[in-house]
Amino acid sequence: MKLQEGIEKELDALRVQKRFRTLPEMGRRSGAAVGSGGGMLLNLSSNDYLGIGDEGQLRDEYLQAFNPECDADEFSMSSSSSRLLTGNHRAYGELEEYLASWYGRDGALVFNSGYHANIGILPALSSRHDLILCDKLNHASIIDGCRIAEAAFRRYRHLDYDHLEAMLSESRGKYRQVFIVTESVFSMDGDLADLRKLCKLRERYGAFLIVDEAHGAGTFGDTGQGLCEAAGVVDSVDVLVGTFGKAFASYGAYGIMDGMVRDYLVNTMRSLIFTTALPPIMLGWSMRVLEKQRSMMKERQHLQNLAKRFRNALKRSGITVNGESHIVPAITGENRKAVLAAAALREAGFLALPVRPPTVPEKTARIRFSLRADICWDDIAAIPEILHAVS
């Protein structure tokens, strides 16, 4: 019973610390609203940044194509195999060709999820003769990939590129290859990497740069490629990782890279090789969404303008706010305050869930607002006053 006793003690400690989590049950969706707890709430905790996932017309058009006269193979619900066996449906090739052409690179690879991408790319590319330099606040999936890899692994202070350069200078000549890995839009703080500076460091020190655009793809750039497009550095990034599961309202992820790197990952990336392939119906949906969102520049601009106005309103109400993107974290500090704030928001009709350690550092609990392009200022104007009242 030692294991069970230890588990029980840890769970009790989480309850005392207001860090105990449960899986929230979500009901039907209607535009930006979602059913929860018997009512409909404005959903400010999803990653459907462009509102595509809850926009019914595109989904209905896609599903209506499934009829007795169509090629039912295009809508198969399962691949039933890995890609290296029989799961590599032709829709994979079509989607990867589209991605490579869109980004203007000669290689693209679709993965089952952003997590699969991040735990697989670095372990495949690096060896015990290499060094990985990782932003301290990178997503847990990136950290896990760094830990799985055989390479030496060090973190540089968040967005501190002088610290990063000092590490690069100190490591010169000691490793076969140095990898730099960063998010573009950081998922918990909503702040932005300086990608131009990172690309200059990559060139100066001969580093291999990996940028995770999970929260940048769809929300930045004229065509939605992400912050790399907005910064004009797509061609200077060695591997650009994007996800279909957020702004693109589908499932899976992708990497943009040179063709030789793509071939190498196909042969060595364990999280690609040893997993069942995505079903064709999801690959086709991803293609449909990518085509639609390329022309949604107006929605991207609205999203960022809305976030700026919301962030400023929160600051005027005395709320500590981080970031500079559509992810707006309102910092409460204490776990208890984050839970109370989320409850007050729910009572007022908003679904904005608390984020607590270990997802974020100790004493930085927060309400993480994920804004969406299908809402307007009037929809969220009451929130700063609600948070001020419970702070």
What distances in angstroms separate CA 138 from CA 181, 199, 212, 316, 359, one per listed residue?
8, 18, 9, 29, 11
The reported pLDDT for the residue numbered 171 is 97
**Is residue 70 scored above 60 in pLDDT?**
no
Using 50, 70 and 90 to split pLDDT, how confident is the model at 56?
Answer: confident
For residue 38, pLDDT beyond 90: no
* Average pLDDT of the residues of the chain: 94
Q: Which residue has the higher pLDDT, 67 or 247?
A: 247
Residue 29's pLDDT is 78
Find out whether 122 and 130 touch, Cβ atoms under 8 Å.
Answer: no
pLDDT at 269: 98
Two structure tokens written together for 122: 């670095």
Task: Yes or no: say if 182 and 157 are a contact pair by the CB < 8 Å rule.
Answer: no
pLDDT digits (tens, 9 = 90+) for 102-140: 999 999 999 999 999 999 999 999 999 999 999 999 999
Q: Note the pLDDT tens digit of each residue in 157-203.
A: 999 999 999 999 999 999 999 999 999 999 999 999 999 999 999 99
pLDDT in tens, 300-331: 999 999 999 999 999 999 999 999 999 999 99
Mean pLDDT along residues 282-292: 94
Q: CA–CA separation, 140 vs 158, rounded Å?
A: 14
Look at the block and give the residue holding tokens 């700026």: 308
Model confidence at 341, in pLDDT bands (50, 70, 90)? very high
pLDDT at 66 over 70: no
**Mean pLDDT along residues 21-43:** 86
Average pLDDT over residues 267-271: 98
pLDDT tens profile 215-228: 999 999 999 999 99
Q: Please name the residue that has the structure tokens 């550095």.
A: 233
- Give residues with Cβ within 8 angstroms of 337, minimum separation 6: 365, 390, 391
Arithmetic mean of pLDDT, 269-276: 97
- Band of residue 255 on the pLDDT scale cut at 50, 70, 90: very high
Q: Domains along the chain? A: 15-50+297-390 (3.90.1150.10), 72-293 (3.40.640.10)
Three-class SS state of 349: coil
DSSP string, 254-291: EEEE-HHHHHHHHHH-HHHHTSBPPPHHHHHHHHHHHH
Question: Does residue 237 surpass a pLDDT of 90?
Answer: yes
**Percent of the chain residues topping a pLDDT of 90:** 86
Q: At what angle do helices 195-205 and 161-171 cross, to 10 degrees?
A: 10
Task: Report how far residue 139's alpha carbon sits from residue 150's, in angstroms, rounded to the nearest whole number.
Answer: 19
pLDDT at 67: 59
What mean pLDDT do residues 273-288 have? 95
Point out which residues pair with 314 in neighbouring strands: none
Region 343-348 average pLDDT:
96
Digit-coded pLDDT (tens) for 375-384: 999 999 999 9
- Confirm whether pTM is higher than 0.85: yes
